[in-house]
Amino acid sequence: MVDGLVISQYDSNTRNVVPRQPWMEEHLDQEYWESETGLARTAEGALKADVWILKERSNQTEGVHVLQRRYGCEWDDESDVTSGYEEYGYDGEDFFSLNLNRMRWVAAKPLAALTRDKWNPYESILNGRNQYFTQDCRDWLKKYVQYGNITLGRKAPEVSLIQKKSSYTVVCHATGFYPDTVKITWKRDGEEMQEDVDVGETLPNGDGTFQKRANLTVSPEERKRSQYTCEVTHMSGEPTLVTLTEEEGNTPVGIITGCVIGALAIIGVVIVVVMMKKT
């Protein structure tokens, strides 16, 4: 995944890594897909073997058990800061992780202590992880963003106000923005509001962009006494300000100011499959 967008996929039914975005298929040759498939099959086998090892260690003879591995890197094109992470979970709980600052494996559960003690002495493995997270992963991330620059470029949010029927709630709705980091703030006479405001989660649209909303509960009388403004801040440009006004029939109208569309951003998260050392 890059910035929440699935770019390729592997599962145990097809046993092949396949592109999920047309620009991935366009820019990467057959050798790339064969290499990724080989790594994914190796990782699949290692994870299956690790599940059996963990079941034996914990005396689990029945039931369904899940071992999850999550890893990737982040790169900020403005600060040029690179960071990475690798985490394991077992049966839905934190189990094992890599501390990149100390370059040591850390056990979150007593069951993981044996694996931690076996893995930490292998300096070559740790150095390889450091190389991957600080350089290789970052370099691939740059390539993926370059390949998908039309899809992955910064997109400014479209902001509108929506009156909920039979209520005092006004919705400030921002949609069509990318990347997904956005802040929506309701202000009364220029002061940020904490009460009477409900900010929702950031949700994906079907086209790779995102949407978010913030609900304001305010009576018609309060609207007349004060000025209410919704401010949407996104890295695509200057904040977008929407001021709540009233037309005939008490229909909310937004006066939009300060919206500037920005340029392409190369910032994101990429998760790719690599070989894993067995527990």
pLDDT in tens, 79-103: 777 889 999 999 999 999 999 999 9
pLDDT tier, 261 (very low <50, low <70, confident <90, very high otherwise):
very low
pLDDT at residue number 15? 95
Residues 146 and 17 in one domain: yes
User: Is residue 20 located within the same domain as residue 146?
Assistant: yes
Nearest CA among 267, 66, 246 for reference residue 170: 246
Question: Is 163 inside any structural domain?
Answer: yes
Q: For residue 278, what pLDDT is reported?
A: 36
Average pLDDT over residues 238-257: 66
195 & 103 share domain: no
Question: Range of 113's domain?
Answer: 8-151
Banded pLDDT at 257 (limits 50, 70, 90)? very low
Contact by Cβ (8 Å): 57, 50: no
The CATH number linked to 25 is 3.30.500.10
- pTM for the full model? 0.62
Beta strands in 125-251 (DSSP E): 158-163, 169-177, 182-188, 191-192, 197-199, 203-204, 210-217, 228-234, 240-246
What's the structural domain count of the chain? 2
Residues facing residue 172 across a β-bridge: 161, 214
The verdict on residue 247 lying in a domain is yes
Q: Specify whether 127 is located in the same domain as 161.
A: no
Asked whether residue 157 carries a pLDDT value surpassing 80, the answer given is yes
Note whether 131 and 198 are same-domain residues.
no
Structural domain includes residue 264: no
Q: In this structure, are 146 and 40 located in the same domain?
A: yes
For the segment 15-25, the average pLDDT, to the nearest whole number, is 93
If you average pLDDT over every residue of the chain, what do you get?
85
In a domain, 217, yes or no: yes
pLDDT of residue 153: 76
Same domain, 31 and 164: no
Same domain as 170, residue 96: no
